[in-house]
Structure 1
């Protein structure tokens, strides 16, 4: 017979890579939000789930169960085989630990395949994630990268992470770059997915001396940052980045690829067109329509993004004004200088701790 497993025990085993987690909900439920790293082996397809739900509401519970049994019986051999092909420990879950995961675990047990069932299902995981983000005591210091649009902050973070630095790419986790054009070429995440993947990253680095993030507003696309991270960012150590405009334009064109997303780029521009001086807005629109994307980006930087960044920067306190400025001409230079700056800051803090302790 199968065993139920608590969310705490499941998280412990997941952290050690000792558990495969399997979401038996429908593909659309899985796509909407799931436990990070889980795989989807649906008990019912979206269409089958809708059909059974209709029977349950409009006919009877018994008819819904009979139809569910009929559907499942026809595909049971393939369903069981997929589980048999997965090695090691396995945990299944559905929405609230109900019929789908219970039936799955029972059938697999009868076939000699042992699985655990998450007590309370995905709903329990979601509750744990929200409560943990709301009460987390996060000790690491935060280094915050600032810079005008197109400076390459995200690429710098990716390069640092590839070198083993404790980086949390908030835009990557949100599936959004944080601007009006931010969703172009990306899949935006909802709050449930963002909270789940963010918490995974935060817990991974909770014992590090610091993490590195990009300066973000409270909202990134569809999602909102948790309060503790906003506070850590505001109290963090700021590092300012400055790149020549030519590099910034190139970075933006490489990242957003407007030639591949012409309509999306145009529609995004229309959302901010009224905020730009009319003659300039008309020129930007003409450039977007004619494929002169470099010129359009340059105008957007001069007349929209740079003034907004200057205004936002002015709202930071005195510590921001004193923050070190890193100027660079290439992204490689930026990565090297950020590394040097962080090492310098870490050395200073180590020395301060040594002096304070009287060593």
Structure 2
């Protein structure tokens, strides 16, 4: 196929290489979901797209095309062509796409060509590439053995996941730590963007040719983002490794995660005074989020301890008192919930141990598979 058109056979390389992409769809389309390396430089803005779409429904394609040309002309057309030229000048290897790889791609390519530059567009457009990524997620469990890393709250599962090349970090991809206290300073991606990024990470994992795919034990929802159903179903059937960690190691880790890192993040984002206020609100909202499951009495007790800890922190510049409510949170909520969930996974557990033991188990497994 001509290099003026990028064939579907190249989708994999596009995503693996993070090739720069120009998304010609309207901003409202782009906001719902886009690809990780894409930049929105639309042929039509939201208003223009709506008018053309209405015209297409009422009067057909020819009338819609004519209206589109009348809306995007003169200085508007020149400014958009210049924006494309600037982008492709900075990214010579970039490609462009619209929703289906149809008229918007072809017209944009023609205008750029008339301005003296040859740029390829992607056959099938966003719709076909998006389907490719969905298929990548759904097919992965059939192509790669999944292993699930479970462990009690504060055992350092995410740290462990990040240290292994066999793994894909679901929480990092969803920008949420997967618990009631898992919110980050920056917002989660849209559901579509989460799925697109997950598919890209799975493609990268395939390229590494690992002996398994190691994933952290997650609920169906990571914050407000859902793990794709086929993939999650496979996770629920996969064998489980249990990371064991004593309470004395878990508490300082959670103090750092819930308090130090979050306070620092909010203050960097909002400034010292407002950041501290937002940090306090984050802790209270996180506790309120488990009220139904924890009960009113224990939730109110936790909230009192949180408020007292925040007050002490402001007065004495120390965070040690936060360990009181974190300890109570583990005792009354997280640890009982974990034990209940682990009992349901009992038949799937194939190994348990501390981080060194699990590292050794995985290393030996990899070595045995490569022989």
Give the structure-1-normalised TM-score.
0.79
Alignment match, 2:13: 12
Alignment match, 2:294: 276
Q: 1:200 to 1:18 in 2, by over 3 A?
A: closer
Q: 1:24 to 1:310 in 2, by over 3 A?
A: same
Alignment match, 2:185: 185
Contact 1:14 1:20 in 2 (8 A): no
- Report the 3-state secondary structure (helix = DSSP H, G, I; strand = E; otherwise coil) of the residue aligned with 1:22: strand
Contact 2:26 2:46 in 1 (8 A): yes
More helix by share: 2
Contact 1:151 1:251 in 2 (8 A): no
Q: 1:72 to 1:294 in 2, by over 3 A?
A: farther
Contact 1:147 1:240 in 2 (8 A): yes
Aligned-pair CA distance for 1:71: 5.9
Contact 1:190 1:223 in 2 (8 A): no
Contact 2:21 2:94 in 1 (8 A): yes
Aligned-pair CA distance for 1:302: 1.5
Aligned-pair CA distance for 1:318: 3.1
Contact 1:177 1:183 in 2 (8 A): yes
Structure 1: gaps (5+ residues): 327-333, 355-359
Aligned-pair CA distance for 1:56: 5.5
Say whether 1:311 aligns with 2:340: yes
Q: Greater shift after overlay, 27-36 or 49-58?
A: 49-58
User: How far apart, in 2, do the equivalents of 1:49 and 1:26 lie?
Assistant: 5
Q: Greater shift after overlay, 121-130 or 70-79?
A: 70-79
- Report the 3-state secondary structure (helix = DSSP H, G, I; strand = E; otherwise coil) of the residue aligned with 1:108: helix
Aligned-pair CA distance for 1:116: 1.3
User: How far apart, in 2, do the equivalents of 1:281 and 1:240 lie?
Assistant: 28
Q: 1:120 aligns with which of 124, 139, 157?
A: 124
Say whether 1:142 aligns with 2:171: no
1:79-98 deviation line (CA, Å, top 9, x unaligned): 14313423433310122224
Aligned-pair CA distance for 1:170: 0.6
Provide the alpha-carbon RMSD of the alignment. Answer: 3.1
Alignment match, 2:25: 25
Alignment match, 1:236: 239
Structure 2: gaps (5+ residues): 267-275, 311-320
Give the structure-2-normalised TM-score.
0.77
Alignment match, 2:221: 219
Say whether 1:109 aligns with 2:113: yes
Q: Greater shift after overlay, 268-277 or 299-308?
A: 268-277
1:234-284 deviation line (CA, Å, top 9, x unaligned): 333513231424224324324544855332332332232132243321121
Aligned-pair CA distance for 1:127: 1.9
1:21-71 deviation line (CA, Å, top 9, x unaligned): 222234453343212322333334xxx422552476389845554122246
